[in-house]
Amino acid sequence: MPAEPNNALGRLAKRLLRSSDEIDSDELARESRDLGRQHIGGLVPRTVASVRGEIRSITLRPAEEVAALDAELWDGTDVLHLVWLGRRSIPGVTPGVKLEATGRVCRHHDVLTIFNPSYEVIGREGHHDG
């Protein structure tokens, strides 16, 4: 890992050279922290957590299995899967939407997951709900 720049010019250069993904990640992590939500990167299985982030993708389980909607939530620190059993869709829960969710964290197939979380749709990036 490269050393952090210790002078003002080095810190400015580092900020200017960041990718848009790094900037988005930092903004999501800061927003989550400022609103008192836990960072996904620090979640511990078997505890109840309240998180906030952006839905990156939605996956539906095949028809042969129990119906389930799996949403990948990103908060700038890590990814958490939110799985609603018995659902094929949830109005407003789509990629690009910001969402707050609360539930008990577990590891399912070695992935941090909350099954059937309570949730609130916050809105899309760049759109103001009101």
What pLDDT band is residue 8 in, cutting at 50, 70 and 90? confident
Domains, in order of start, for the chain? 8-124 (2.40.50.140)
68 CB-near residues (< 8 Å, 6+ apart): 60, 61, 83, 84, 85, 86, 87
Percent of the chain with pLDDT over 90: 53
Report which secondary-structure segment, H or E, holds 39.
none
CA 73 to chain centroid: 3
Each residue of 46-66: pLDDT tens digit?
999 999 999 999 999 876 778
DSSP output for 44-80? -TTSEEEEEEEEEEEEE--TTS--EEEEEEE-SS-EE
For 20-56, what is each residue's pLDDT tens digit?
555 565 676 566 666 667 889 899 999 999 999 999 9
Query: Tokens in use for 13?
Result: 């250069």
Calpha distance 91→22 (Å, rounded) = 29
Longest dimension (CA), the chain: 59
Alpha-carbon gap, residue 104 to 50, rounded angstroms: 9
